[in-house]
Structure 1
Amino acid sequence: MWPLLLPFALAGSAYSTILHAHTLVESIVSPDGWVNLGAAPAGHIIPLRIALPQANFSALEEHLYAVSDPAHKRYGAHLSKAEVEALVAPHPDSVSAVDTWLSEHGIPNSACTRSPAGDWVSVRVPVALAESMLNTTFYKWKHVEDDVELVRTTKYSLPEHLHAHIELVQPTTLFGRKKGQPAMVRSVGAPQTRAHALRSRGTITVTRSDGSTLTVDASCNVTVTIACLRQLLNIGDYRASGTNGNRIAVAGYLEEYANYEDQQIFYKDQLPEAVNSSFTYTLVNGGRNDQNFSSDTYQDNTNMQTVLGLVFPATGTYYSTGGRGPWIEDSDTDADTVPPYGAWLDFVLAQETLPQTIMTAYQSDEQTIPESYAKRVCAGFAQLGARGISLLVMSGNGGVGDANPDPRTQRCWTNDGRHKKRFLPAFPASCPFVTTVGATMHIPEVPTDVSGGGFSEYWSRPSYQDDVVSEYLTRQLRGTYAGLYNPNGRAIPDVSAQAYNFRIAEWGHLGMHGGGQESTAAFAGLVSLLNDARIEGGKPPLGFLNPFLYSAGTAAFNDITSGNAPGCGTQGFNATVGWDPITGLGTPDFGKLKDLALAL
């Protein structure tokens, strides 16, 4: 289509430029770590995503908190798909203005894809046309650490009359990269030393922060299985119904996949009654169902095995989402970048019914995501919460900045041209409309030394956190690390769970893995069981969790009071009595949470 349309489109854009003077929308300095390789090819195709203002998002946010706050009379009265879309739909004037602008550039309605509420418009255009539309120049960029290549610009403009009708256009200034996922892996079949074997025998009685005790098999201090998680989370003999409609899902991106054969190996090892059961693969935005052992399956294999191991016989879905965020896909590049949250949101928000619990374990440094784009994605997460979906994300695997112990290559610096030392929160963990999970290890539990935590630079602290976070800042930090973090920002994580030495199947073999994705999967499985109990009791699912967790729910958490996650040349934040930015409220007790959830 585009080779025939391009001459007309360029002629149209010249006409449009004469009528409508462009003014700057966004400008950034050249990002740290990226090298400009020169002008991008004129014919390279860019999938532009254009965000129209959401006319009544503030009203949606009010509804979200009303239906999520146990103290509110509307608690649990979640909105329908149609009700949510009506609140975020753009004003007709914005739709008309954007359609006219696209038409002036030779882009017909038939070439546009729109989100369910019409608040996003997507078009695929050549670089030459994008440059004319945005009055900018796109360049090829390469990252010095891993040779990731992107096509981006450092500034773009729009006709002045469109500024009220377009919030952002991407990919333009987004130079994000997915942060590495450090993992602990070794063969389960390796010979044990005598000391190792002795640690695995008997039981351990743990005294929790409220004075209660928990008895756990000593072997769980060496290898964490589903049986161990059921003990650590105090799930006891509770089993999901499997027939009441309760579902859980894992959202996967960046050519990572969940493997059916590995799932069966895991079941044979830990949950024989689940052998021959499976999960649904849902393909989004060109995603694939890749079952080759040569493919990257570590992260999402771990997630699917853990959540389904906890919730069996409830059903599960794996979302395999293709693409590379709001930017370029190129056959000659190997971009390991931010997941395409926008494409995934377009898909799931278009569905009438969804799994009640969804988790994802991908994250990037918040500062690498343009604030305007991050806030629009976060607004999409708010729509899910308003519809009664609990969304769990991990807090990160880099402590306060980066898990890399070499200070010469740590990512602990601002990318705004000042190169100032700064603790770096993760996204989407920093979005206030998701529940963010930190990572613990061992018995009794302490934080892992890479559990992500900190304070957002983009979002102010939500009211549900005010009391506990203010207490930590005034009682514990008392000015420590001043200037390295935003004390008024949304604080992460909210909660935490075990994350160390999980036994899973990978590439046809059993092995042990660890990281923030494991803790997120464990907590997501627990939430799905809570939703199961509420559905069985004739109640709606929990939906957006945080207002509940930070109020009545705090009584159901074991407070983690020692340990820290060093980074950026510091000891990082520490765990202490009460909420802290490494373990949040602590680790959950399913039995107590279930009683509280059923009483709502």
Structure 2
Amino acid sequence: MMLFNLVFLLWCWAGTTSTLPGNAPEIIESLRGIPKGWTQRDAPPQTDMLVLRLAMDQPMLADFHQLVNDLSTPDYPLYGKHLTKREVDDILQPSSEVSDGIVAWLKNAGVAADFIKLSGHWITFRLNVGTAEALLDTKFYNFHKGDVTVIRTLQDSVLSILRNKIETIQPTIRFGSPRAQAEWMMDNSDDSSPLQINPSVGIYQMDPFDPPANALRMGHIELVSINKGVVSFQVSTSAEANLDVQYAAALTGGTPLVYFSTGGRAPMNSNADQPSAANGTNEPYLDQLHFLLGLNDSLLPSVLSTSYAEDEETVPYSYAVQVCNLFAQVGARGVSVIFASGDTGVGSGCQSNDGKNTLRFSPSFPASCPWVTAVGGTYSLNPELAAAFTSGGFSNYSPQPTWQTDTMKDYFNQLGDKNEGYYNIWGRGYPDASAQAVRYLIWNQGGPEYVYGTSCAAPTFAAIINNLNNIRMTQGKTKLGFLNPWLYVQGNQGFTDITVGASRGCSGVDMFTGQPAGKIKEASWEAIAGWDPVTGWGTPNYAKLKTMVAKF
């Protein structure tokens, strides 16, 4: 039996690698070069500690994805029957032969058994740099960008007999530069049209919330630290957190809020259970998702809103696929996952990073993942316009999901040959919806500030979904959970279509570094009737939506 042979070979591997079949290293992941903005420095000490996560192959993944769609499509028999943690784990758990074989491989390489932890189809393990280099047939270096230093490599390998059993090992080639999708309005002198809570309630026809006179000014907000994440009090980063919690609290009428702060680089721990901050081996998306999926069902949030994005092509494909699949698991358990679509329009760099520098639009991640609901930005009223900075387009990683097929046919029939060759016609289209994203008034660093960006739109949209969930829960119905199948089949009827405005980008100058970048003449996505890659289905009309969600 092949699986038995796999385990047997790995247990016998120590000391006999030169004679066993299937022991040649085979590349599992690689980069063509050092990512833009990063500089390679010296090699770290061989004794520095790393924490790595290994994703095993999931034979039932396609069936699981279909199940999640069935759970999320109204009028389907399984709609709303969200899965428990145990049910998700049981479906996706690899065979014991595979997991035992990989654990044997790690132990034989010198990874201590106490430092190996299995969770579903993931194995987390701690080892020093020297052991990691031997295990993965690679060489690690310190890489520097700004004030961040991380230990990474440009290529890693595993035994050829294991290649089809392992999807990714991270963070090895994963550098990452997620950006908050909110910016300050530089001119605060003109406050003739600030978007405050009362106007926001009016825009989307939300029910006003009138707290009693003795109520606290803001609902209870719980801080949950993941991987030693903290609340930032720095001027450059505190606006993002204040924006999210202030608008979410104000628009949800007292719903308990949890602020998850995920550390990307853990501080030094005296027992070496975590890598040092200088090593920077911890990556926020994986840390956050593993934490959430490890929670008991009763502790999971009903809505999760995140306002960070990065260029999709800068994320290693294997890593992006695994993160996206984890979002599917979160959705299967009844959580609506909301992401800001990004603030780079059709793109900023607009060149492929495969060494060919091909001109093309630059989709953003995780918004391009089909298992999240991506929210774009609008501004103004009568008419409400598409914001030029809103990121949107079509994924180069994730194929078009079935619930988007008819919508994409209609869109491309209207689009014609515009932008042909600059995007992937078969990719997942985003954003899925939009909300106001300009001139949000917040309190930050002891005073008022205006901010803009899809970071404003995401928590606003998430608050609306929370309130719709509350309506359903009071009627004994289930949470909305993964939104997209409902949104594309029925929910879009409760949105205001945005048909004026367009996104921009690909100007020839990178908006973050100021360096030369790809230039595409008249690069844009226009807001048109129906779905479009600027505003999705448009902005929510709460009065319509609350009637709709009570009927299924």
Q: TM-score range by the shorter chain?
A: 0.7 to 0.9
Q: In the TM superposition, what whole-angstrom CA distance separates every residue of 1:217-270 from its partner, at most 9, and x where no partner exists?
A: xxxxx101111111111113478xxxxxxxxxxxxxxxxxxxxxxxxxxx99xx
The aligned residue for residue 387 of structure 2 is 448
Residue from 537, 540, 543 that aligns with 1:585: 537
Is the contact made by 2:152 and 2:175 (CA closer than 8 Å) also made in structure 1? yes
**Is the CA contact (8 Å cut-off) linking 1:225 and 1:503 kept in structure 2?**
yes
Q: 1:395 to 1:553 in 2, by over 3 A?
A: same
Contact 1:31 1:416 in 2 (8 A): no
Q: Count matched residues.
A: 513
Report % sequence identity.
34
1:160 lines up with 2:112 in the alignment: no
Equivalent in 345, 350, 353 of residue 289 of structure 2: 345
Which of these residues, 117, 120, 123, is aligned with residue 121 of structure 1?
123
3-state DSSP of counterpart to 1:164: helix
1:388 aligned to which of 331, 334, 342 = 334
CA contact 1:500–1:515 (8 Å) conserved in 2:
yes
State the distance in 2 between where 1:590 and 1:150 align: 45
Matches within 5 A, 1:472-483: 472-476=411-415, 478-483=416-421
Q: Give 1:543 shift.
A: 0.5
**Cα distance, 1:546 vs. partner?**
0.7
Give, in whole Å, the separation in 1 of the partners of 2:401 and 2:255: 33
Q: Write the letter of the residue equivalent to 1:287.
A: G
Q: Specify the code of the residue in structure 2 equivalent to 1:500.
A: V
Instruction: Output one character per residue of 1:20-50: Cα deviation in whole Å (capped at 9) or x when no partner.
Output: 2212222321045244334443233222111
Q: Which residue of 2 aligns with 1:275?
A: 217
Task: Evaluate the alpha carbon distance shift between residue 289 and residue 39 of structure 1 in structure 2; reply closer, same or farther with a 3 A threshold.
Answer: closer
Matched-pair contact (CA < 8 Å) for 1:16–1:104: no
The answer for the alignment partner of 1:439 in structure 2 is 377
The answer to whether 1:495 aligns with 2:499 is no
Residue 204 of structure 2 is matched in structure 1 by: 233
In 1, distance between residues paired with 2:168 and 2:259?
30
Structure 1 residues 536 and 30, CA gap change in structure 2 (3 angstroms):
same
Contact 2:219 2:249 in 1 (8 A): no
Deviation of 1:455 after TM superposition, in Å, equals 0.4
Alignment pair present for 1:23 and 2:26? yes
Counterpart in the other structure of 2:8? none
TM-score (norm 2): 0.87
Residue 154 of structure 1 and its aligned partner are, at CA, apart by 1.9
In structure 2, how many angstroms separate the alpha carbons of the residues matched to 1:449 and 1:17? 59
Describe how 1:5-404 pairs up with structure 2 within 5 A.
16=17, 19=20, 20-33=23-36, 34-115=38-119, 117=120, 119-143=121-145, 146=146, 148-179=148-179, 181=181, 183-185=183-185, 190=189, 200=192, 222-237=193-208, 273-275=215-217, 277-289=219-231, 292=233, 296-324=237-265, 331-332=277-278, 340-352=284-296, 353=298, 354-402=300-348
What is the match of residue 512 of structure 2? none
By how many angstroms is 1:152 displaced?
A: 2.1
Deviation at 1:278, TM superposition (A): 2.3
Give the aligned residue type for 2:543.
Answer: G
Partner-residue secondary structure (3-state), 2:183: coil
What residue in structure 1 maps to residue 407 of structure 2? 468
SS in 2 for 1:470: helix
CA distance in 2 between partners of 1:426 and 1:401 (Å) = 8
Three-state SS of the structure 2 residue aligned to 1:363 is: strand
Task: State the Cα deviation string for residues 310-343 of structure 1 (Å, max 9, x = none).
Answer: 0121111111111259xx965458x7x9951111
Q: The residue matched to 1:25 in structure 2 has which SS?
A: strand
Structure 2 residue matching 1:599: 3-state secondary structure: coil
Tell me, in whole angstroms, the C-alpha distance in 1 between the residues paired with 2:413 and 2:389: 24
Cα displacement string for residues 48-72 of structure 1 (whole angstroms, at most 9, x for unaligned residues): 1111122422222122111100131
Partner of 2:516: none
The CA distance in 2 between the partners of 1:159 and 1:509, in whole Å, is 57
Q: Distance in 2 between matches of 1:533 and 1:123?
A: 43
| Distance in 2 separating the partners of 1:36 and 1:272 | 58
Cα distance change, pair 461–519 in 1 and its aligned pair in 2 (3 A):
same
C-alpha distance in 2 between matches for 1:363 and 1:276 = 28
Report if the CA contact (8 A) 1:359-1:521 is conserved.
Answer: yes
Work out whether residues 431 and 459 of structure 1, in 8 Å CA contact, stay in contact via their aligned partners in 2.
yes
TM-score of the superposed pair, with normalisation by structure 1: 0.81
Letter in structure 1 aligned against 2:124? S
Kindly state the Cα deviation for residue 525 of structure 1 after the two structures are TM-superposed: 0.3
Q: Give the deviation of 1:286 after TM superposition.
A: 1.9
Q: Distance in 2 between matches of 1:225 and 1:412?
A: 35
1:184 maps to amino acid: W
**Contact preservation (8 Å) 1:456, 1:486:** yes
User: Does the 8 Å CA contact 1:177/1:338 hold for their aligned counterparts?
Assistant: no
| Range with bigger deviation, 447-456 or 21-30 | 21-30
SS of equivalent residue, structure 2 residue 260? strand
Superposition pairs for residues 531-542 of structure 1, below 5 Å? Answer: 531-542=469-480
Change (3 A) 1:357 1:552: same
Aligned mates of 2:153, 2:99 — CA distance in 1? 26
Question: SS at the partner of 1:562?
Answer: coil
Long gaps (5+) in structure 2: 1-12, 267-273, 508-521
